[in-house]
Amino acid sequence: MTGMLSQPPKSAPHAEETSVRATRTTLGAAADAARVALRRGREHLLSLQHADGWWKGELATNVTMDAEDVMLRHFLGIRTREQTEETARWIRSQQRDDGAWPTFHGGAGDVSTTIEAYVALRLAGDEPAAPHMRAAARFVTAAGGVEASRVFTRIWLALFGQWPWERLPAIPPELVLLPPWMPFNVYDFACWARQTIVPLSVVYALRPVRDLGFTIDELRTGTPPPARPRLASRAGLLHRLDRLAAGYERVRLRSVRSHALRRAAEWIIARQEADGSWGGIQPPWVYSLMALHLLGYPLDHPVLRAGLGGLDRFTVRESTPSGPVRRIEACQSPVWDTALAVTALADAGLPADHPALVRAGGWLLGQEIRVCGDWAVRRRDAPAGGWAFEFDNDQYPDTDDTAEVMLALRRAAVPAGPATRRAVDWLSAMQSRDGGWAAFDIDNTRAVVADLPFCDFGEVTDPPSADVTAHVVEALCAEGLAGSRAVQRGVAWLLRAQEPDGSWFGRWGTNHVYGTAAVLPALVAAGMDPQHPALVRGVHWLLAHQNADGGWGEDPRSYRDPAWIGRGASTASQTAWALLALHACGRHQGPAALRAARWLADTQLPDGGWDEPQHTGTGFPGDFSINYGLYRLVFPVSALGRILAGDAGEPGGGTS
């Protein structure tokens, strides 16, 4: 396999010649295995393409999505026995031996997720005395009970009279009236957070209570609330501000509140997507449905009818030995998946005019967004252009998808020039002041909002990240803009963001393996010598964290516990990320790459894919992890295609 492992120079005659022959034999076996794996992976990926040209793998998260779907339907009075039983069957199947439910595969039990799953199962008819329910209750009470749950879980409990509304942090709907230049306006929050906060503020203002038909007293411990933060601290100051906002509820002007609720309803409706969703993600979707219904919109109103109907496309049903199960995708990733699949197949040797790539390229061109969304609030003069994550996501194109689509379109024989030029202009306009790129917004970095008492789960701002910045830099360089000011500022940002150990933090993928594997190819694409100290340190970090079996893996716990950085069971996607980085830096000729390629070949499934139950994608670092169904296939195909490019017997691959 040309380029997989450099051969040692000849010196001692007999022993050295024997060693060289053994190395060549190992090389040949590894090359053969890698070629077979690539061919099978490529064919499997081709078989998954939709007739319209796109790819979409299931986006799996945790049972919170499913439990909240049950609770939403109970709240709206539309829950059916069949839906509830199928969802409950799925939730039960995901319970750990200790009675808890985790937020990612192999993770520890999470008290809030477990409480929500428990309530959903009670709605399904599971009795508290059942062994699995007793185990769940024991876990919850040992972890501090409902008193230790996150704010969002307690909001769900308040909706059903299981937590007092007055003991929740204030979320006044008047926030929507604040202009964008004022502190704590809704545009200080990331797009996913603002879409959730606005409808939640309506729910908070109206404080509904629906009957569950039971209590969850068995999950309570009576633990008093934690002490208030010190007044001298920022958190302490914001806590007092929250209490002032709560007090405002007693003296608010009725006219101002009515105006705020009307404005919130208008804001919510204006952001409903064509498929009925809000942002194409579950949290704002369910809260928007509840908020509008509480404001008097009937369930047969076109907005609510579209919203409820749209949930069907996010519903996954399958048969199991215990009966049919039903689960909800938190969001969907067809644009992202399709761009990665096009790049992977091109890396695997498909020519640009191959029908699969032409169909995919044409579909991607049809997904270009030509209208202004929330990003335009702070970039009014920027031209529209770019791509989003989902089928219908016009309000929220993102720089990460846009960059990957641009790279993919270069690999397909489609007339992408005008769309790509618009994307270049949009990406250039979305560069933050510090030179980096965030996913959805520009300069969305007001960190103080994260200390608001109701912001205790997940990221609520969208600052620049290494992985997104790297993808944008790589895409702009592919368009011949390596010498541009935008790229040079981006490169400078990436160099500043390198961790002391030589890695880069991964915001949207787990974690330092993802960040490092994204940055190294981007810096090379920008013209940086692979021998530059920053790149050498990045490569050395990757090599130092290769597992004994030849693969790479990193557990989501690395977001919270530094001891997990670069550690975890080997996965196909993370191994491929590391291989792609080594290839970009010219290090795909060493034994580390050989072992990684061999690991991919040895762990491939009979259908040409790879098994990967681990969550290697990231929604909120440390809080919400994602298992992308196609990551385990597209990245290994790309990696094997690139390291085999030019090898005898391969059709050639090339790199983006």
Write the DSSP string, 213-268.
SS--GGG---PPPPPPPPTTSHHHHHHHHHHHHHHHHHH--HHHHHHHHHHHHHHH
The pLDDT tens digits for 233-249 are 766 676 667 667 667 77
645 pLDDT above the threshold of 90:
no
pLDDT band at 448 (very low <50, low <70, confident <90, very high): confident
Residues 6+ apart with CB under 8 A from 18: none
Write down the pLDDT at residue 3: 35
The pLDDT tens digits for 595-607 are 999 999 999 999 9
Token pair recorded at residue 197: 């906060």
Write down the pLDDT at residue 26: 59
- Mean pLDDT of the chain, nearest integer: 91
225 pLDDT above the threshold of 60:
yes
Query: By the 8 A CB rule, do 327 and 300 touch?
Result: no
State the fold for domain 62-328.
Answer: Glycosyltransferase (1.50.10)
Comparing CA positions, the residue from 31, 199, 9, 152 lying closest to residue 640 is 31
Q: Which of 156-160, 303-307, 325-329, 584-588 has the lowest mean pLDDT?
A: 584-588
- 3 state SS of 318: strand
Given this structure, which CATH class describes domain 28-59+331-430+465-644? mainly alpha
Write down the pLDDT at residue 170: 86
| Domain range list for the chain | 28-59+331-430+465-644, 62-328
Q: Which amino acid is at 152?
A: F
Q: Are strands 617-620 and 624-628 parallel, antiparallel or unpaired?
A: antiparallel
H-run or E-run covering 624: strand 624-628
Query: By the 8 A CB rule, do 461 and 190 touch?
Result: yes
Comparing CA positions, the residue from 73, 171, 216 lying closest to residue 455 is 171
The pLDDT tens digits for 78-110 are 999 999 999 999 999 999 999 999 999 999 999
pTM of the model: 0.92
22 pLDDT above the threshold of 60:
no
Quick count: other Cβ atoms within 10 Å of Cβ 582?
26
pLDDT band at 158 (very low <50, low <70, confident <90, very high): very high
Query: By the 8 A CB rule, do 271 and 279 touch?
Result: yes
In this chain, the answer to whether the domains covering 28-59+331-430+465-644 and 62-328 adopt an identical fold is yes
386 pLDDT above the threshold of 50:
yes
Q: Which of 66, 394, 400, 467 is the catalytic position?
A: 400
30 against 493, higher pLDDT = 493
> Is 467 designated active site?
no
H-run or E-run covering 136: helix 131-142
